[in-house]
Amino acid sequence: MGEEVRFLGILNSNGVQTQVYTGALIDTLNAAKWQLLSQDRQMAGWVMNPLDLRTLEMLRENGNTGAFLLKFHPDIEGFLGAPVVTSLGLPTGTALTVDWTSCPWAATS
């Protein structure tokens, strides 16, 4: 009989870096983006809970009364530097970005 295969999940894989939550979603995502870019990594995209994407869409100047800061999905992707998709598989407050070029199992032939 072969060995039992146990999947750890991407959040528990080797090489995963974390960014401490700074108290504001947009600040935390920005810090995570720059953590990756400062290591000369290439972001392929972001995955986040739909409610976190909504939080970004609802950000306004001057708190709750000003103009929306990121009016459209492309504005959010432009700020984050890569495409954004949502997944209910991630809890709110957790987002992923990835550099596929550094994942040996993601190599294509």
**The pLDDT of residue 90:** 87
Answer whether residue 71 is part of any domain. Answer: yes
**The pLDDT of residue 16:** 67
pLDDT digits (tens, 9 = 90+) for 53-103: 999 999 999 888 899 999 899 999 999 999 999 999 888 988 888 777 766
Measured between alpha carbons, how far is residue 87 from residues 46, 52, 61, 103, 105 in Å? 10, 10, 27, 21, 22
- The domain tally of the chain equals 1
pTM equals 0.78
Answer whether residue 83 is part of any domain. Answer: yes
In the predicted model, is pLDDT for residue 107 greater than 50? no
Cα distance between residue 94 and residue 67, in whole Å: 26
Answer whether residue 8 is part of any domain. Answer: no
Answer whether residue 24 is part of any domain. Answer: no
Q: Residue 88 sits in which domain range?
A: 43-98
pLDDT digits (tens, 9 = 90+) for 29-51: 999 889 888 888 888 889 999 99
